Chain A
């Protein structure tokens, strides 16, 4: 790889450089304002314990939202991630509790099983969507039901538990107060950021989201890239399943109900356009934190969970309205 000056990288890569920076700064400021607000008005918000709490709570949504960013960037949506996560956790749970496995083998097997389930479900979503040019909304809605049913069927609607201790240790491990699982999520954000900004693959995903026909006529297989985006989304659902199991030490066929909506919300609040082609995974990171901080802070401030839900809804709508104006003023 040739050495580039920072300026050159920012100039050429920066998917719509200045615009993205400004926008990310904008929602970054919104997040800072929230943190400031809750720090002033609640006693416990800015304590080490609570911060660890927030990081833990944000983790699964962040992992799902990273994958969701890929799908939304190409103008799609994946409603199945919550169910796929549950299905992956059930299959992994069955694998992990197989008799006669050492703890290490069991964990490796579980990780392989969960990610494989995620990848397969995502690839199916992508293949069907791309092959017949169908709306991903409806295909993944179908997958939502299929995966949920499969999870219930495979587990006989029972929760699976008694995993190896090492697994639990991983789920609750801390590194200077930062949950290790959160660091996994952060690593995924970094990898996604790298892929989207520095690889041909990422470039063409943005291209497809902006103008699919132009990318197709330039001789690229739009079909394959679409499948890849959905597969990545499925993969993150599989990874989320592993984290879920490690944290709670169970596999539940009814896990993850509604998680897809939180993931989509994080992506949209983070400034990625539902029409595709515009946005960034850094925005998604901030979006996931806005949701997490709101959830945590509003409860600390004494609001009910119902009120929290209402306010999260309002934030989503405001984010989309802001996006409308941003698109209007940043385009010529």
Chain B
């Protein structure tokens, strides 16, 4: 249904192009982040940017806000060339961004936060608190937050109010373009409505709003035009009234919707249930149903969903990292209550974490020491490290995983991303897990190493290991999984059998538009 814009007044039909982006490319080393982005903003419109994770929206925003430079292409703002060298310059040209991650100083007051870029001084050069509070009051009133005292610390506010404070701060300096990067990700429906009213008000003052959101219903509710990103390119820009949500999803995915590179037969027999979770909720899970899921021996279950849909939280809950609030976990049919990773490991569970630099590897330590990090006690029963054994283990898993390395004594930091990830894998395989949890197992890994990792994981399943894989890359899930469970807002939206695998089907569930009545409707 081509939802009608909330705003009755159409875009000022002067078609005045205000900001024009033409063929912008951006590389990080050899990696293309933006591969030809073109779109334009008209004064006073609300313009949506949509696309999968990693499609290039955030990179573009960082370029527009002066955080990154770009390598080729042209950007013009009000018919003059625009190449901001710094966020300050972008702000001076009237471009303000409200980022996904908050940039507020928790212990300072709302007023101080709002004025932090240009704190008013009195004639002695001291902070002019009266003026500061007055400006903050004005800024809050402008977005309708009349009931909030500007002197209270930001830390005492809820997440939604912080978001609004960020917007007030951005608007306080005269902005021409306000970029909102996933502003509704943390908001409730009521707060979202409030935000939409604010956006309408801003728009009526002639400010152009760029709205980045994963929620297509919101895009269709408030935006005038939409630009779709795919693989670092802009693939379509059109008036929202010419688009349908299905059409947008199709463009995000690409016209040739492939049904996955591996065709399973639906009927496949697996071993008994290795892991069962029943209505599990962790602290981060804001939904009320919790997550229920069965995982069989020899089975690979994929978990898909947008960032923030609660995918990693499932794994962290099972592994005993985040305490489980309610619900139960069964291992081999028996209820378990892991107090921490060590309990989960004892129960034969391994966890290949998402962030190998922060959670997976000890970069400065030798490859051998990283490989033995989990099973070091078994490897060295006396408490003395058995270096010969450790080296043997590192060499063996190195050849099993086709690891490319110099010496086992080289630090893990000497390896490429893909090989580092193999070391993380090797660490867990060293303790022969029966259940392996994987969070983004191939993030930042090149294509060749990816294929190798896939074949390792499939071999593991063949050997009877139960695998639960979280991934943002849909082709990855479709290649690996025997079943894909799709999450949105901390709840399972549906489950796909191999014969139903397609990016479109996954995205429909992830965006909560599978069937009417399912998912969230507004």
Measured CB to CB, the residues of A under 8 A from B are: 1-2, 4, 8-9, 11-17, 198-201, 203-204, 206-207, 210-211, 213-221, 277-278, 331-332
Contacts and interface: CB of A to CB of B under 8 A. Distances in A.
Contacts of A1: 382, 384, 386
Given A8-B391, A198-B385, A214 B361 contact: yes
B359 A217 contact: yes
Interface stretch (B132-140, B274-282, B369-377): B369-377
A14 B373 contact: no
A214 B364 CA distance: 12
Nearest to A197: B385
6 nearest A-B pairs in the assembled complex, by CB-CB distance = A12-B387, A219-B345, A219-B342, A11-B409, A218-B373, A218-B374
Among A9, A203, A210, the most chain B Cβ lie within 10 Å of the Cβ of A203
A14 B409 CA distance: 8
B364 A278 contact: yes
A211 B385 contact: no
Given A4-B387, A217-B321, A331-B413, A210 B364 contact: yes
B383 A200 contact: yes
B363 A211 contact: yes
A199 to B, nearest CB: 5
B342 A4 contact: no
Interface in B353-411: 353, 358-366, 368-369, 373-374, 376-377, 380, 382-391, 407-409, 411
Nearest to A223: B340
Nearest to B380: A200
Contacts of A278: 364
30 contacts: A1-B384, A2-B389, A4-B387, A9-B387, A11-B387, A12-B366, A12-B369, A12-B390, A12-B408, A13-B385, A16-B365, A200-B377, A206-B365, A207-B362, A207-B365, A207-B369, A211-B361, A211-B363, A214-B360, A214-B361, A215-B373, A216-B340, A216-B341, A217-B341, A217-B360, A219-B340, A219-B342, A221-B342, A277-B364, A332-B413
Contact of A217 (B351, B363, B386): B351
B414 interface: yes
Contacts of B390: 12
A213 B351 CA distance: 13
A215 B362 contact: yes
B427 interface: yes
Contacts of B361: 211, 214
A199 B391 CA distance: 15
B126 to A, nearest CB: 31
A213 B319 CA distance: 14
Nearest to A221: B342
Contact of B364 (A12, A13, A16): A16
A98 to B, nearest CB: 37
B388 A4 contact: yes
A210 B369 CA distance: 13
A220 B373 CA distance: 9
B358 A211 contact: yes
Given A200-B377, A203-B376, A214-B359, 4 more contacts: A17-B409, A211-B358, A217-B319, A218-B341
Main SS at interface, chain A? helix
Contacts of B385: 12-13, 198-200, 203
Given A12-B408, A214-B359, A203 B369 contact: yes
Contacts of B340: 216, 219, 221
Contacts of A8: 387-388, 391
B124 to A, nearest CB: 35
B413 A11 contact: no
Nearest to B374: A218
A198 B384 contact: yes
B345 to A, nearest CB: 4
Contacts of B373: 207, 214-215, 218
B353 A217 contact: yes
B359 A213 contact: yes
A58 B461 CA distance: 60
A193 to B, nearest CB: 14
Contacts of B408: 11-12
Contacts of A214: 358-362, 373
A273 to B, nearest CB: 10
Among A204, A214, A216, the most chain B Cβ lie within 10 Å of the Cβ of A214
Nearest to B353: A217
B440 to A, nearest CB: 15
Interface in B167-197: none
A204 B374 CA distance: 11
Contacts of B409: 11-12, 14, 17
A9 B384 CA distance: 12
A150 B362 CA distance: 41
A219 B341 contact: yes
B216 to A, nearest CB: 36
Contacts of B374: 218-219
Given A11-B407, A203-B369, A218-B374, A2 B362 contact: no
Among A9, A12, A16, A199, the most chain B Cβ lie within 10 Å of the Cβ of A12
A16 B362 contact: no
Nearest to B381: A200
Interface string B254-281: 0000000000000000000000000000
A11 B391 contact: yes
Given A207-B373, A278-B364, A16 B384 contact: no
Interface in B310-325: 319, 321
Contacts of A331: 364, 413
A2 B391 CA distance: 13
Among A199, A200, A204, A221, the most chain B Cβ lie within 10 Å of the Cβ of A200
A199 B386 CA distance: 9
Contacts of B407: 11
A124 B120 CA distance: 48
B351 to A, nearest CB: 6
A216 B360 CA distance: 10
A16 B411 contact: yes
A220 B362 CA distance: 14
A233 B390 CA distance: 29
A218 B427 contact: yes
Contacts of A218: 341, 345, 373-374, 427
A229 to B, nearest CB: 16
Nearest to A7: B409
A2 B409 CA distance: 19
A11 to B, nearest CB: 4
A271 B218 CA distance: 56
B319 to A, nearest CB: 8
B413 to A, nearest CB: 6
Contacts of B353: 217
Interface in B405-444: 407-409, 411, 413-414, 427
A120 to B, nearest CB: 24
Among A203, A207, A217, the most chain B Cβ lie within 10 Å of the Cβ of A217
B349 to A, nearest CB: 10
Contacts of A17: 409
A219 B384 CA distance: 18
A206 B373 CA distance: 12
Given A217-B353, A218-B427, A199 B321 contact: no
Nearest to A216: B341
Given A2-B389, A12-B366, A214-B373, A220 B383 contact: no
